Amino acid sequence: MAGYTWTNDQADGVLKNSALSSELLKASVADTVIQPFCRIVAGFGRRKGESLTVPLIKNIAEPTSAELGESDRIPIDTYAHSSVAITVKEWGRGVEYSHRAELLNIFDLADAIQGTLRDQMKLVLDTAAAAAFKAAKIIFIPTSLSGGTFDTDGTPSTQATQNLTVQHVQTIRDYLADSIHCPPWNGREFVCLASTKALRGIKQDPLFLAWRQYADPQAAFFRGEVGSIENIRFVEVNHVNALSNAKGSGSVLGEALFFGKDAVGMVVAEDPELRADVNVGDFGRQKAVAWYGVMNYGLLWTTANDGEARVIRVSSS
């Protein structure tokens, strides 16, 4: 626990602080935008065990022909299914402070601490959500202004030598739509969560200006959204623990996540919340505030197969 002490205005002397600014300043917090794109999986809660199994139905193959003759029986296809289990975990952090600090401070110390803990909680859970997205098997690695390579085993084997460009976006979009037939996030559009550096590579591309001419600034829907290219909505993530700004040769690349519908699931046994303990010890002289929750995130489709994979991660070895 950090102690509370008054300090001199100068190294030597008896001058003391007699006035403080009326505004309490907090450190700036990176915007958190990843968690809202996780699908809350229904059917889980208290007294449901430690994990939730999500059943997944695979696509039925298109036949060469479904035409029937008058005396033909309707052929019977078979379907395959699989499942993924998401195990919940406990999450939480806390801060202790003294009754004396709360009593003598001109500000509401408990309220200030709760505010910073709430910010920390959002960052921690956003990083956890990003980790679930980044467990995807398909990875795109930019190796030139217009080209790159795909890895489909979940591990990038090539070093990126170029930041993200609009031409890379076009390649990724076609892979989503044509190679793996990923359903769009909202039925019409895909979503890209991109680090500030990855977005800078796109914004500096002359092709981006052509797209912006047709983009309505009032059409932005998501927090942090900066524009739309090739039916992909781009959202900036300035939280480097979630999406790095320093991937590839000479840290040239920023990470990004392109995805469609049902990419990552979120299971909740107990919603994260702030909790106050007013009597940690010594007759109430020590107090504490913490945030705590029981939940977790998980990639729903864990293959790179056509019709199943839902996420493409831009990264580097």
At residue 68's C-alpha, the angle toward residues 64 and 74, to 5°, is 90
Residue-wise pLDDT tens digits, 112-139: 888 888 899 999 999 999 999 999 999 9
Query: Residue 64 has what pLDDT?
Result: 84
- What's the pTM value of the predicted model, to 2 decimals? 0.82
* Sequence spans of domains, the chain: 138-264+301-314
d(C-alpha 142, C-alpha 249), whole Å: 11
Asked if 79 and 60 count as a contact pair (C-beta separation under 8 A), the reply is yes
Q: Residue 20's pLDDT is what?
A: 44
Q: In this predicted structure, what is the pLDDT of residue 274?
A: 86
At 5 the pLDDT is: 47
* pLDDT higher at 125 or 76: 125
Q: Which residue has the higher pLDDT, 309 or 27?
A: 309
Highest mean pLDDT among 1-15, 48-62, 83-97, 274-288: 83-97
* pLDDT score of 158: 96
Q: What is the mean pLDDT of residues 280-292?
A: 81
Residues 18-69: tens digit of each pLDDT: 444 445 455 555 666 898 899 888 766 676 677 777 777 777 777 888 888 8
Position 7 pLDDT exceeds 60: no
Model confidence pLDDT, tens digit, residues 178-235: 999 999 998 889 999 999 999 999 988 888 775 655 455 555 456 567 778 888 999 9
Q: Which residue has the higher pLDDT, 311 or 270?
A: 311
For every residue of the chain, which 3-state class applies, written as one string? CCCCCCCECCCCCCCECCCCCCCCCCCCCCCCCCHHHCEECCCCCCCCCCEEEEEEECCCCCCCCCCCCCCCCCCCCCCCEEEEEEECEEEEEEEEEEHHHHHHCCCCHHHHHHHHHHHHHHHHHHHHHHHHHCCCCEEEEECCCCCEEEECCCCCCCCCCCCCCHHHHHHHHHHHHHHCCCCCCCCCCEEEEEEHHHHHHHHCCHHHHHHHCCCCHHHCCCCCEEEEECCEEEEEECCCCCCCCCECHHHCECCEEEECCCCEEEEEEEEEEEEEEEEEECCCCEEEEEEEEEEEEEECCCCCCCCCCCEEEECCC
Q: What is the mean pLDDT of the chain?
A: 83
Comparing 310 with 81, which gets the higher pLDDT? 310
Q: Is the pLDDT of residue 93 over 80?
A: yes
Question: What pLDDT sits at residue 156?
Answer: 95
Strand order of the β-sheet with 89-98 is 39-40, 264-281, 286-299, 89-98
> Between these two residues, 143 and 218, which has the higher pLDDT value?
143
Give the residue, 51 or 153, on which the prediction is more confident: 153
Closest CA to 136 of 316, 307, 302: 302
Query: pLDDT value at position 296?
Result: 93
pLDDT score, position 223: 59
Nearest to 56 by CA among 312, 265, 300: 300
The pLDDT value recorded for residue 17 is 42
The pLDDT of residue 219: 56
